Structure 1
């Protein structure tokens, strides 16, 4: 039974002031048991639009919920096709009445917007009638554009792929993450020694570096050759979630066809850290998406090479975290996805500077001594000199990431066409790594972490890690198609303070304030600015907003996070970021459902460019009450109305001259 119905049944008032408790026991708080379907739409491309249309965008709507695409530029390709490749997902609340509608708009002179066509409505019920089990996949097909009334055919077509499926409340899934520096050499067609071929994983993510080689016929582009090689190896049971590349870096993510319905909100991005931060010989590419309601992000990176460049590698990491934006654009990627997987040729070496005079060109006897350690399997001894373990331990790179135990030999620098011989030009090193990071309250377990010695075409060996994850499918954010906005969940802070923030101003201080953001809020909220301090403390009555949530279901809310950006106020220029963090809402929901009156304490770490940048701590409470935003606007309207009435009354009493 929904929460709103429970309130009506118990006589609870939605119009009263703060309702501190709902007088329900824990069993009553099971507020969502109905089946929920998810409809995912992938717009592949459009064609035959009017030639004068230079820039278009789409609006999609299902059951009262609408989504808008990014702008799509008409580049005037010969075949008249516009590549779109954008994904949209909707919660289907009422399959009997919900329909999918799509409209295409163009931007004209002076920014005017005009609807140039609409697809005929696609009833969700019609799709479900032909459902195979709980999953229905319509093959991508072309849909004609019509006038708004659907009577007149317009110029243009949309290639669209629709998936509808029932969400699973909780699912245990497995993911394969692989990385390989291809060495700009043509790889073998058979990669089964490295890549999975038995469809045991729901997700397969493959990242490569220096992946630029002479493509094999019939391909004329290396990227297409590599993508086809990956597809052939993982097998026909997998579908491509997305493929991204920049320079010689490539990343492709596959999903097994039986769980393709779980994927939504696909996004991708890239950042070049090469010369001038433009040349893409180094940097990172990433792909993010939701698996049901669990956010996943895969980053493939290639850091600065050579011994003695450890700080440059650390800088590459900081730049990628700072500049690469996917998903919720106002947040960094580390604080918005439940799981982030970071793979690549990170190029961290074994640092023997304390025991070797010239480690960049090692003496032959010293090189032989270390290789013997490798052949004897004394990896633990060698890992004492591993730069990545040292830098991570000191929180100078990949802070908060975890890595499996390294029980395989260094993967660089190998002699080509050899499974276990190293090149004397360089000291062997574990350059190729896979790490992961999870938000508080999330579950991820590494299953295997290994290398593949039998692929011989590169001076690097492929590396792979496999994981077991728990993913969740949550109730919709709202109940049915209701538009009632009178009552909401609120978060009130009883205390809030930050410590050891970054100094952003030239005087060694900052003017910090807090921005609360995220899709689970009805709008962004800001605290007051605290001037000239690195350890601000906000007054709960004067300085802090009341956070109004857009989520109704407690079952959903306890799995969500409050996204936070700490900013430095600057009167003359754009505000500088002091860092990002998240607060898990499960403890405050638990306190509410348990009837605890005391605010819930929290303390979280702030990250700036992926590294520690202070802490944020305090206490907060959850309440169910009138929407304070509407209440304030209602008061404002009331004051304006009364003022106007007084003015009219005054005019009537004072005769005109």
Structure 2
């Protein structure tokens, strides 16, 4: 391979990224056969760029954990099998017992995604047991700091104060000492979701169920514990949430859409929630009274539950966001491409160029991957292979070639992008 001279950069244009967030307490169940509705694969022209998937109460028995240590857990494997053919790559994941957080992105965004840290914060049994708590992925996306938190807070009606305490504790533990990463409250975006376990106070079971039956959800909002806390807690007030226009997502009889018919007859509640917090923007100019031009803004496209899934006593909840940003990083650190015609009979050459400030390392490597594209995204004339440049210093892919063809008869790897198998 041969390095070329540094490239000139151009002024970046604003862009919009679509992000789909999933939270689901799966109650130790295996993945159902079809998750198209959950992943919005049945929506026309959705054109998503990223998936953020958080699960709670995955099977965390000792045999399951040992198996998942050696192999991908069934849920991660399922999502990878479904999303890989659509050009998505699993960029990062973190698991703590029953909590799992996955981050997928379309392959063209990989040079602009840098995973900075993954973290687990147990809060069960005085902070020593991971059956409750939070898992976090901290990353830079086109130069902006983003934290993603999947949590499982304490259950039961009477433990509202404990839930708020655990929320604060998880937030306080997201420090990144010695890594030159700002405090989480200084990040441009925090996505926070999970089984937060907040309940509906005061109202009796009959009133709650009648309100749900008649779709009078607004009658229940004023006694929702999280909504009440957001009105009084200064920090929670900074987190936004879409309107609760869907039925409470807990607690159902498994394999049905009936709320709890057991002896306990638990009162339905919106336990499964998706919140977000944008970094405070500069104030408006007092002379013009105009706010500064937006350079990083998140808008909510949908916030819904998915009643069709019955494997758990919770229903999954999803949000789809549009993230508008002006990239702080618009040029990949590395641009690379194959030279000449590639066949197994010829010497295969690669040319690449790099930005002046790229921290190269002798341990960097280039991998060749066979990938499977959605034919609606890539014309049939495009090839099926990509070159990817992995940076040892940045611990991420920092350059991807355009798809290209290799002459028939070559016996190269056929792993989807994301299954690391370098050939060069």
TM-score normalised according to structure 1 size: 0.44
Q: Of residues 235, 240, 244 in structure 2, which corresponds to 1:402?
A: 240
Is the 1:195–1:233 Cα contact (8 Å) retained in structure 2? no
Closer/same/farther in 2, CA of residues 470 and 216 from structure 1, 3 Å limit: farther
1:449 and 2:296 equivalent? no
| Equivalent residue, structure 2, for 1:438 | 278
- Partners of 2:6 and 2:258 in 1: CA distance: 55
- Partners of 1:214 and 1:426 in 2: CA distance: 26
Q: Deviations over 1:44-87 (max 9, x none)?
A: xxxxxxxxxxxxxxxxxxxxxxxxxxxxxxxxxxxxxxxxxxxx
Higher relative contact order, chain-length normalized (CA < 8 Å, sep 6+): 2
Closer/same/farther in 2, CA of residues 329 and 392 from structure 1, 3 Å limit: farther
- Partners of 1:211 and 1:345 in 2: CA distance: 12
| Equivalent residue, structure 2, for 1:334 | 185
Closer/same/farther in 2, CA of residues 123 and 334 from structure 1, 3 Å limit: farther
Closer/same/farther in 2, CA of residues 474 and 233 from structure 1, 3 Å limit: same
Q: Of residues 71, 80, 87 in structure 2, which corresponds to 1:231?
A: 80
- Partners of 1:123 and 1:168 in 2: CA distance: 27
- Partners of 1:385 and 1:283 in 2: CA distance: 25
SS in 1 for 2:90: strand
| Equivalent residue, structure 1, for 2:253 | 415
SS in 2 for 1:385: coil
Q: Deviations over 1:480-521 (max 9, x none)?
A: 969xxxxxxxxxxxxxxxxxxxxxxxxxxxxxxxxxxxxxxx
| Equivalent residue, structure 2, for 1:193 | 37
Q: Deviations over 1:435-492 (max 9, x none)?
A: 100013331111100000011110000000111111232379xxx969xxxxxxxxxx
Shift in Å at residue 262 of structure 1?
Answer: 1.8
Closer/same/farther in 2, CA of residues 234 and 168 from structure 1, 3 Å limit: farther
| Equivalent residue, structure 2, for 1:381 | 219
Closer/same/farther in 2, CA of residues 214 and 276 from structure 1, 3 Å limit: closer
Is the 2:6–2:356 Cα contact (8 Å) retained in structure 1? no
How many pairs are equivalent?
309
Closer/same/farther in 2, CA of residues 405 and 244 from structure 1, 3 Å limit: same
Shift in Å at residue 242 of structure 1?
Answer: 0.2
Shift in Å at residue 410 of structure 1?
Answer: 0.1
SS in 1 for 2:4: helix
Q: Deviations over 1:590-643 (max 9, x none)?
A: xxxxxxxxxxxxxxxxxxxxxxxxxxxxxxxxxxxxxxxxxxxxxxxxxxxxxx
Shift in Å at residue 396 of structure 1?
Answer: 6.1
Is the 1:196–1:233 Cα contact (8 Å) retained in structure 2? no
**Pairing of 1:237-276 with structure 2 (within 5 A):** 237-276=87-126
Shift in Å at residue 368 of structure 1?
Answer: 3.0
- Partners of 1:284 and 1:167 in 2: CA distance: 38
Closer/same/farther in 2, CA of residues 373 and 285 from structure 1, 3 Å limit: same
1:307 and 2:157 equivalent? yes
| Equivalent residue, structure 2, for 1:207 | 54
| Equivalent residue, structure 2, for 1:280 | 130
- Partners of 1:204 and 1:166 in 2: CA distance: 29
Is the 2:38–2:318 Cα contact (8 Å) retained in structure 1? yes
Shift in Å at residue 400 of structure 1?
Answer: 0.4
Shift in Å at residue 422 of structure 1?
Answer: 3.8
- Partners of 1:242 and 1:376 in 2: CA distance: 42
| Equivalent residue, structure 2, for 1:620 | none
SS in 2 for 1:372: helix
**Pairing of 1:476-625 with structure 2 (within 5 A):** none
Shift in Å at residue 370 of structure 1?
Answer: 1.7
**Pairing of 1:8-47 with structure 2 (within 5 A):** none
Q: Of residues 308, 316, 326 in structure 1, which corresponds to 2:166?
A: 316
Is the 1:244–1:251 Cα contact (8 Å) retained in structure 2? yes
Shift in Å at residue 369 of structure 1?
Answer: 3.1
Structure of higher CA gyration radius = 1
Shift in Å at residue 126 of structure 1?
Answer: 9.2
- Partners of 1:275 and 1:215 in 2: CA distance: 18
SS in 1 for 2:154: coil
Unaligned residue ranges in structure 1 (runs of 5+)? 1-121, 129-164, 356-365, 483-657
- Partners of 1:276 and 1:262 in 2: CA distance: 38
| Equivalent residue, structure 2, for 1:179 | 23
- Partners of 1:275 and 1:390 in 2: CA distance: 27
Shift in Å at residue 229 of structure 1?
Answer: 1.1
1:349 and 2:173 equivalent? no
Closer/same/farther in 2, CA of residues 266 and 276 from structure 1, 3 Å limit: same
1:461 and 2:305 equivalent? no
Shift in Å at residue 233 of structure 1?
Answer: 2.9
Shift in Å at residue 241 of structure 1?
Answer: 1.3
Closer/same/farther in 2, CA of residues 228 and 421 from structure 1, 3 Å limit: same
Q: Deviations over 1:95-116 (max 9, x none)?
A: xxxxxxxxxxxxxxxxxxxxxx
Shift in Å at residue 204 of structure 1?
Answer: 0.6
- Partners of 1:167 and 1:220 in 2: CA distance: 49
SS in 1 for 2:100: strand
| Equivalent residue, structure 2, for 1:470 | 324
Shift in Å at residue 345 of structure 1?
Answer: 0.3
Is the 1:268–1:326 Cα contact (8 Å) retained in structure 2? no
Unaligned residue ranges in structure 2 (runs of 5+)? 282-295, 331-354, 358-424
Shift in Å at residue 208 of structure 1?
Answer: 0.6
Q: Deviations over 1:130-157 (max 9, x none)?
A: xxxxxxxxxxxxxxxxxxxxxxxxxxxx
Is the 2:30–2:75 Cα contact (8 Å) retained in structure 1? no
